[in-house]
Amino acid sequence: MISITMGQIESMLGQYLWPLIRIMALLMSAPVFAHQTIPAQVKIAAALAMTLVIAPALPEPVVAVFGAAGWWLVAEQILVGVAIGFSLQIVFAAVELAGDMIGLQMGLSFATFVDPQNSSQSPLVGSFLGMIATLLFLSIDGHLLLLSALVDSFSVVPVGKGSLAQFSWSHLALLGTNLFSLGLQIALPVLCTMLLVNLSLGVMARAAPQLSLFSVGFPLTLATGMLLLVVFLPYMRPPLEQAFRQALRMWT
């Protein structure tokens, strides 16, 4: 007769439970994977499949599932999974910030788009650049790099070894400081050109006061902004690709 003790059940459960929690937290917070159009059943099935592949290769944690230490370990795995996804969300937020600044200079700050990701209305140019960033992320196999960083995170922050307090969270905070610098870096060429256009309109207004700037300036700034977006879109790839890799480098 085969007998299984409670300790063996906790050991087998802990071997798969802790990685599953971290993976599910990542899938609920990472770009692309966390999109609301992906059903929750698909996310759960993907998390279970990844857990079955990853968990056997991990060292067995010595923390009891049922107990105070187990609840703390659950919170720890959720924190790590959300932090990995958050490091990439910063890059997408910087792109949308750049789009908002460009739209403001183009005169499209009033134009909004229903964003299914956040279930709210977002500025049109920011949403457009966000979709471009998503396509770029997929084109450089960013989703595979994210899954690779997830696997490496079990070595950087092992399960149940108290390494969370020793992890340098300052690197994650520094990624947050790059949000405004990256957004400005992306938007700066368009902003500088639009500044010259606005200065030219100001000179025209002084030279010809009878000229209606609203009827002339708005179409001019809108057309110039659209043209600049087409011209500068190919140059967005190098800084965005570098930002994606930098966000995932701290977990590898």
Non-local CB neighbours of 54 within 8 Å, separated by 6+ positions: 19, 23, 150, 151, 154
Q: What residue ranges in the chain does DSSP mark as E strands?
A: 112-115, 120-123
Give the pLDDT confidence score for residue 10 in this predicted structure.
Answer: 64
Inform me whether the pLDDT recorded for 1 exceeds 60: no
Give the pLDDT confidence score for residue 153 in this predicted structure.
Answer: 84
Least confident of 17-31, 90-104, 136-150, 203-217: 203-217
Select the highest-mean-pLDDT range: 85-94, 120-129, 159-168, 212-221.
Answer: 85-94
Q: Return mean pLDDT, the chain.
A: 79
Higher pLDDT residue, 161 or 49? 49
Least confident of 4-8, 24-28, 95-99, 170-174: 4-8
Q: Count Cβ atoms below 10 Å from residue 146 Cβ, excluding itself.
A: 24
Boundaries of every domain in the chain: 6-249
Structure-token pair, residue 151: 């696997």
Specify whether the CB–CB gap between 94 and 178 falls below 8 A.
yes
Three-state SS for 153-192 is HHHHCCCCCCCCCCCCCHHHHHHHHHHHHHHHHHHHHHHH
Q: What is the DSSP letter of 70?
A: H
Structure-token pair, residue 149: 């960083």
Inform me whether the pLDDT recorded for 187 exceeds 70: yes
Q: What is the mean pLDDT of residues 66-84?
A: 80
Higher pLDDT residue, 239 or 60? 239
**Could you tell me how far CA 69 lies from the centroid of its own chain?**
31
69 by DSSP, 3-state: which? helix
Angle between helix 142-156 and 124-139 (nearest 10)? 70
